[in-house]
């Protein structure tokens, strides 16, 4: 039997940083025409490995082979010329330039005297875009495209090179389901062309949908490669975290108290219309729906970041108007925002100052900050939430995603809110910390908080919520009890296929 | 972590190391090049240095807050000139003539109130329109300067009050009045930034404005207060300086904004906001004044001084960047 030559092969890669062995003898290979998932918790070494592959870090030992050639990549440009192309989670495009200029950035076709050959540029670009079957042309300004289409521009850029291996790093993080389908089609095309693909993602459903093999890293070490068809989520999770994970349904909705928050007929322009629901103390209300269904916008309205165009908000039975986050906080509504780093934390500040940020004003002694009281609060919530940090002086930017999220949660718990809203509480958090956050959310409800959890992950809402609100295009389609709902009915509801719509005759 | 701590220490200490370097250099070079036979590090010379640092230094303290806050104020030089004119001119107003020497505190208050009001106007526009502070204060820099010229054309505004001059030239415990003001302002702003809620919030807003909003901090009013503080300090700087000199030209204070920003950046404040400290700014102010004075001491002319300071500013920023990059890599594991 002749062995296929791998498109890309890593052999015994070692990379150490002062005090840490970030990669310890990691080897794996990607075959041409294969989609190979690379999985591991945050800190398992995936990013370091990709930086080695991208020419950003030099390995201390080991070798990288592209086809039959051993390569040394000293710079990112060299990696690119060797045919290793990255599609990053964060896009790096010049938004004011056209699609064509972005795709050929640095390599614009030229005529005499250094003039740009625009015709050739646009023709070449349109040819590539045609292959991708996208709905925009070479002359479109990149800033006018959706995130998904911008990602297509990045992919098109990869296709201009003779790509041997394409690495997708969390490519679906900001895509809608429909956009995902388009992306997966493109990946299938690349695969058919014999390109090796490394697919990095935390989302199990995607991994099992499109990959051929899965390689798992843990603590910088290679933990094995399995064929996707021969394994399941549980087994992979166990490889990643070294133990089994609790992902059962939540069946404990019996500790409900009074209504803490009630919303009647709330609308905000085109974002969402006529939304009504209630949350009781001791209950977790899940909001499930597609990106753009209006879930985050409802949370932002409750938190005073948007003004509603109609409707009422009732807190403990009394109608309130919330004009600003300061208002919301004063009335006992707290929001753990979707974008932890962009909206929730001041990364350059230490843990303590982040945690007490909304209440330093209440803690002051005369005109001065009461640092002793702040440390006391930090210590209390560090212990209660099990936040792992060397001390309060640690900058929040240096913590792991899970611990950062706990700082945000601690920040709001220390304000003693009535209603706690968590928007995508486990986004970008590794599997181990994820289950800790889930457990924490359940505990908070048990302690009598009214909790709202917005999530795009079905297992998450099923696991933490007592009741699930399904949203579609700015409207609430249905509200389910989590132990009664079926996955099918939930998916139907969030796709706008609810029973209140007439079925299309065959 | 150790590499990060080292680079931090380096960064914090860098400005003081630079000052020591300047002192040594000018002392040694002064022996050979200086026309005067006085040593550079003569006590009187150093006391004078503090005094001469005051006009830029007092404004720099305000600029540090505004820059940590993520904004900038380019109008300080023009505010300085307006406050100076109000100070000197108001002492000749007939309506205040009956006050005798009591006109002094009244004129001071008028000048300080004017500075605060001009700062408030900047802050209000930044808050209510959301236009970048750079653009807003670029506009008000031109506008305020226009007001200065409208007042008296190209002519200087002069008034000497000898009681005031005596006060301004006094030396208490060896330090000049201006130096006391600089030290007082430095201490007050240092307290504000390190010990108070307002200071804490200034850092938070500069580092991540959205997170600050989400934490319930009222960002607009906060920024306006900072613009009022810097307006007040620009006026205070004028009050301290013109109490002694007694004559203001319509061009006075021009380019002050750039000297002030240079001092603040040399002192380690990030131009993008979120980081910086008052003690560093104090060092930056001293370093610039030392350089101007030292180069004068060894016989260089003004154009050389500007060239050298420009080069040093760029060199410092390159060094800072290098240290930052190293710190980051060490933290990534």
For domain A8-241, give the CATH number: 3.40.50.300
Q: What is the pLDDT of residue A3?
A: 66
Residue A16 has pLDDT above 60, yes or no: yes
Task: Determine, for residues A345 and B208 on separate chains, whether the beta-carbon distance falls below 8 Å.
Answer: yes
Q: What is the mean pLDDT of chain A?
A: 85
Which residues fall within 8 angstroms of residue A239, CB to CB, at 6 or more apart?
A39, A216, A218, A223, A224, A226
Shortest alpha-carbon distance between residue A60 and chain B (Å): 14
End-to-end CA distance of chain B: 11
- In total, how many domains does chain B have? 1
Task: Determine, for residues B197 and A361 on separate chains, whether the beta-carbon distance falls below 8 Å.
Answer: yes
Task: Determine, for residues A326 and B216 on separate chains, whether the beta-carbon distance falls below 8 Å.
Answer: yes
Task: Determine, for residues B218 and A326 on separate chains, whether the beta-carbon distance falls below 8 Å.
Answer: yes
Shortest alpha-carbon distance between residue B216 and chain A (Å): 4
DSSP state of A343: I
Q: What is the pLDDT of residue B15?
A: 82
Residue B134 has pLDDT above 80, yes or no: yes
Report the 10 Å Cβ neighbour count for A282: 22
Q: CB of B142 within 8 Å of any CB in chain A?
A: no
Task: Determine, for residues A17 and B333 on separate chains, whether the beta-carbon distance falls below 8 Å.
Answer: yes
Q: A48-62, A94-108, A466-480, B26-40: which range is least confident on average?
A: B26-40
What pLDDT, in 10s, does the model give residues B287-298?
Answer: 999 888 888 878
Answer whether A450's CB lies under 8 Å from A281's CB.
yes
Residue A499 has pLDDT above 80, yes or no: no
Answer whether B286's CB lies under 8 Å from B22's CB.
no
Closest CA to B214 of A428, A375, A302, A404: A302
ipTM higher than 0.85?
no
Arithmetic mean of pLDDT, B69-88: 94
Q: A169-178, A301-310, B191-200, B309-318: which range is least confident on average?
A: A169-178
Q: CB of B226 within 8 Å of any CB in chain A?
A: no
Q: Which residues is A35 bridged to in the sheet?
A: A197
Residues of A in contact with B330 (CB under 8 A): 17-18
Nearest CB partner across the interface for A369, out of B200, B211, B218? B200
Answer whether A175's CB lies under 8 Å from A181's CB.
no
Count of A-B CB contacts under 8 Å: 85
Residue A506 has pLDDT above 60, yes or no: no
Nearest CB partner across the interface for B214, out of A343, A348, A353? A343
Q: What is the pLDDT of residue A266?
A: 93
Answer whether A457's CB lies under 8 Å from A206's CB.
no
Cα nearest neighbour of B207 on chain A: A346
Rg (CA), chain A: 25
Q: CB of B201 within 8 Å of any CB in chain A?
A: yes
Instruction: Provide the residue count of chain A.
Output: 506
Task: Determine, for residues A326 and B274 on separate chains, whether the beta-carbon distance falls below 8 Å.
Answer: no
Task: Determine, for residues A346 and B197 on separate chains, whether the beta-carbon distance falls below 8 Å.
Answer: no
Q: CB of B330 within 8 Å of any CB in chain A?
A: yes
High-pLDDT (> 90) share of chain A, %: 22
What pLDDT, in 10s, does the model give residues A384-405?
Answer: 888 888 888 888 888 878 888 8
Q: CB of A362 within 8 Å of any CB in chain B?
A: no
Cα nearest neighbour of A324 on chain B: B216
Shortest alpha-carbon distance between residue A237 and chain B (Å): 23
Cα nearest neighbour of A340 on chain B: B211
Q: What is the rounded distance in angstroms from the CA atom of residue A136 to the CA atom of residue A133?
A: 9
Q: Where residue B34 falls among pLDDT bands split at 50, 70, 90?
A: low
What pLDDT, in 10s, does the model give residues A104-128?
Answer: 887 788 887 778 888 888 998 998 8
Task: Determine, for residues B208 and A347 on separate chains, whether the beta-carbon distance falls below 8 Å.
Answer: yes
Residues of B in contact with A330 (CB under 8 A): 216
Task: Determine, for residues B214 and A335 on separate chains, whether the beta-carbon distance falls below 8 Å.
Answer: yes
DSSP state of A417: -
Nearest CB partner across the interface for A337, out of B204, B212, B214? B214
Tokens read off for B273: 């906001």
Q: CB of B116 within 8 Å of any CB in chain A?
A: no
Residue A92 has pLDDT above 80, yes or no: no
Residue B141 has pLDDT above 80, yes or no: yes
Strands A221-227 and A318-320: unpaired
Q: What is the rounded distance in angstroms from the CA atom of residue A158 to the CA atom of residue A162?
A: 8
Query: Which residues constitute the domain of residue B108?
Result: 2-331
Residue A501 has pLDDT above 50, yes or no: no
What pLDDT, in 10s, does the model give residues A355-386?
Answer: 998 888 888 877 788 888 889 999 998 888 88
Arithmetic mean of pLDDT, B188-213: 90
CATH 1.10.3720.10 fits A246-332+419-425+445-501, yes or no: no
Q: What is the pLDDT of residue B329?
A: 45
Tokens read off for A34: 């294969």
Q: What is the pLDDT of residue B182?
A: 95
High-pLDDT (> 90) share of chain B, %: 42
Q: CB of A353 within 8 Å of any CB in chain B?
A: yes
Q: Where along chain A do the CATH 3.40.50.300 domains lie? A: 8-241, 246-332+419-425+445-501
Q: What is the pLDDT of residue A269?
A: 87
What pLDDT, in 10s, does the model give residues A208-256?
Answer: 999 999 999 887 888 889 999 898 888 888 888 776 656 666 666 555 7
The CATH number of residue B81's host domain is: 1.10.3470
Q: Where residue B35 falls among pLDDT bands split at 50, 70, 90?
A: low
Q: CB of A398 within 8 Å of any CB in chain B?
A: yes
What pLDDT, in 10s, does the model give residues A150-167?
Answer: 888 888 887 787 788 999
Q: Where residue B84 falls among pLDDT bands split at 50, 70, 90?
A: very high
Answer whether A67's CB lies under 8 Å from A424's CB.
no
Q: Where residue B126 falls among pLDDT bands split at 50, 70, 90?
A: very high
Q: Which residues 409-428 in chain A show a CB within 8 A of chain B?
A: 411
């Amino acid at each position: 039997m002749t062995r296929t030559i791998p498109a890309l092969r890593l052999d015994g890669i070692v990379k150490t940083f002062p005090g840490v062995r970030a990669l310890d003898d990691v080897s794996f290979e990607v075959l041409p025409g294969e989609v190979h998932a690379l999985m591991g918790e945050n800190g398992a070494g995936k990013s370091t490995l990709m930086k080695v592959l991208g020419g950003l870090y030099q390995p201390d030992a080991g070798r990288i082979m592209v086809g039959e050639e051993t390569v040394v990549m000293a710079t990112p440009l060299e990696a690119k010329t060797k045919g290793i192309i990255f599609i990053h989670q964060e896009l790096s495009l010049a938004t004011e330039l056209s699609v064509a200029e972005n795709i050929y950035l640095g390599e614009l076709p030229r005529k005499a005297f250094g003039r740009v050959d625009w015709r050739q540029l646009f023709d070449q670009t349109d040819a590539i875009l045609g292959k991708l079957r996208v709905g925009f042309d070479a002359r479109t300004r990149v800033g006018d495209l959706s995130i998904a289409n911008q990602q297509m521009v990045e992919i098109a850029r990869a296709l201009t090179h003779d790509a041997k291996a394409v690495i997708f790093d969390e490519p679906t993080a900001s895509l809608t389901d429909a956009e995902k389908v388009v992306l997966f089609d493109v990946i299938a095309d690349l695969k058919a062309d014999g390109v090796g693909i490394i697919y990095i993602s935390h989302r199990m459903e995607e991994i099992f949908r499109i990959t051929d093999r899965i390689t798992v890293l843990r603590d910088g070490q290679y933990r094995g490669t399995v064929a996707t068809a021969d394994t399941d989520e549980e087994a992979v999770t166990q490889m990643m975290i070294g133990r089994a994970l609790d992902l059962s349904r939540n069946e404990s909705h019996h500790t409900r108290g009074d209504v803490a928050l009630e919303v009647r007929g709330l609308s905000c322009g085109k974002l969402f219309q006529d939304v009504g629901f209630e949350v009781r103390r001791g209950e977790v209300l899940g909001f499930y729906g597609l990106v753009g269904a209006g879930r985050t916008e409802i949370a932002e309205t409750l938190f005073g970041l948007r003004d509603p165009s109609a409707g009422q908000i009732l807190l403990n039975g009394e109608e309130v108007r919330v004009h600003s986050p300061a208002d919301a906080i004063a009335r006992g509504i707290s929001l753990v925002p979707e974008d932890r780093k962009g909206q929730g934390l001041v990364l350059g500040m230490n843990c303590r100052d982040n945690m007490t940020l909304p209440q330093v004003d209440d803690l002051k002694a005369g005109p001065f900050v009461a640092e002793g009281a702040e440390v006391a609060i930090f210590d209390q919530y560090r212990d209660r939430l099990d936040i792992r940090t060397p001390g309060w002086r640690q900058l929040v930017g240096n913590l792991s995603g899970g611990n950062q999220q706990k700082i945000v949660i601690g920040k709001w718990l220390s304000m003693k809110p009535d209603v706690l809203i968590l928007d995508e509480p486990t986004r970008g958090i590794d599997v181990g910390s994820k289950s800790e956050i889930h457990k924490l959310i359940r505990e908070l409800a048990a302690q009598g908080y009214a909790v709202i959890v917005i999530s795009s992950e079905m297992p998450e809402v099923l696991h933490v919520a007592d009741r699930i609100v399904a949203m579609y295009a700015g409207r609430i389609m249905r509200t389910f009890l989590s132990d009664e709902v079926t996955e099918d009915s939930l998916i139907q509801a969030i796709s706008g296929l609810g029973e209140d719509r007439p079925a299309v005759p065959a | 972590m150790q590499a990060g701590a080292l680079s931090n220490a380096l960064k914090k200490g860098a400005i003081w190391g630079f000052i020591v370097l300047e002192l040594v250099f000018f002392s040694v070079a002064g022996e050979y090049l200086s026309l005067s036979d006085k040593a550079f590090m003569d006590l009187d010379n150093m006391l004078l240095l503090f005094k001469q640092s005051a006009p830029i230094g007092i404004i720099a303290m305000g600029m540090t807050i505004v820059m940590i806050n993520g904004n900038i104020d380019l109008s300080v030089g023009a505010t300085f000139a307006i406050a100076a004119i109000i100070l000197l001119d108001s002492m000749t107003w007939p309506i205040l003539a009956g006050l005798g020497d009591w006109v002094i505190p009244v004129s001071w208050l008028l000048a300080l109130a004017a500075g605060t009001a001009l700062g408030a106007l900047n802050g209000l526009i930044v808050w209510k329109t959301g236009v970048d502070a750079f653009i807003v204060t670029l506009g008000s820099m031109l506008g305020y300067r226009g007001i200065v010229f409208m007042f008296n054309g190209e002519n200087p505004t002069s008034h000497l009050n000898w009681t005031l001059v005596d006060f301004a030239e006094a030396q208490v415990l060896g330090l000049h009045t201006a130096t006391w003001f600089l030290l007082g302002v430095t201490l007050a702003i240092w307290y504000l930034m390190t010990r108070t809620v307002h200071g804490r919030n200034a850092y938070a807003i500069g580092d991540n404005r959205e997170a600050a909003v989400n934490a319930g901090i009222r960002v607009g009013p906060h920024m306006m207060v900072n613009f009022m503080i810097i307006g007040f300090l620009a006026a205070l700087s004028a009050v301290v300086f013109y109490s002694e000199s007694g004559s203001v030209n319509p061009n006075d204070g021009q380019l002050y904004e750039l000297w002030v920003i240079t001092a603040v950046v040399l002192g380690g404040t990030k131009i993008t906001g979120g980081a910086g400290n008052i003690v560093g700014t104090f060092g930056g102010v001293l370093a610039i004044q030392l350089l101007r004075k030292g180069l004068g001491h060894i016989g260089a002319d003004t154009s050389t001084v500007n060239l050298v300071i420009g080069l040093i500013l760029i060199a410092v920023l390159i060094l800072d960047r290098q240290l930052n990059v190293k710190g980051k890599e060490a933290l990534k594991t």
